[in-house]
Amino acid sequence: MESLLTEIDHVAIAVNDLDAAIAWYEEVFGATVEHRESVESDGVAEALLRVADSYIQLLTPTRADSPVAKYLEKKGEGLHHVGYRVANCAAALDAVKAAGGRVIDDAPRPGSRGTIVAFVHPKTSFGTLIELVEDPSRA
């Protein structure tokens, strides 16, 4: 069968200081921020820097009880999750469930920049938190 994963959408990196991380990518690599957004329901602020047709997503918590704040406390800065682009988030999520996998989001939900997303539990996906990203603007 054809892969349900069509591209890497983004690689997400948790940082303590979003502005410092953005400045580093800009100054060292000449990268530019294409999108910034705070997702209040997730308690995160993000900046997307384009790399070819994918993004580096720099993530920082906006409140102490956000999952990213807990992650930084426990593990420190670093790779947080990988976002795979999929044509249909619900179908990809169902494939994980059908294979007996553990999911964080039981159903697709709104992500940043108008995407539809669902997270797969890292216990299922060999230690990496996976985000399934459907981007209706690409359809």
Name the site residues for Co ion (rule: CB under 5 A).
12, 83, 131
Beta carbon nearer to Co ion, 4 or 133: 133
Q: Minimal distance in Å, beta carbon 37 to Co ion?
A: 11
Q: Minimal distance in Å, beta carbon 131 to Co ion?
A: 4
Chain-centre distance for alpha carbon 114: 13
Beta carbon nearer to Co ion, 4 or 82: 82
Beta carbon nearer to Co ion, 83 or 108: 83
Q: Minimal distance in Å, beta carbon 10 to Co ion?
A: 6
Beta carbon nearer to Co ion, 4 or 48: 48
Q: Minimal distance in Å, beta carbon 127 to Co ion?
A: 17
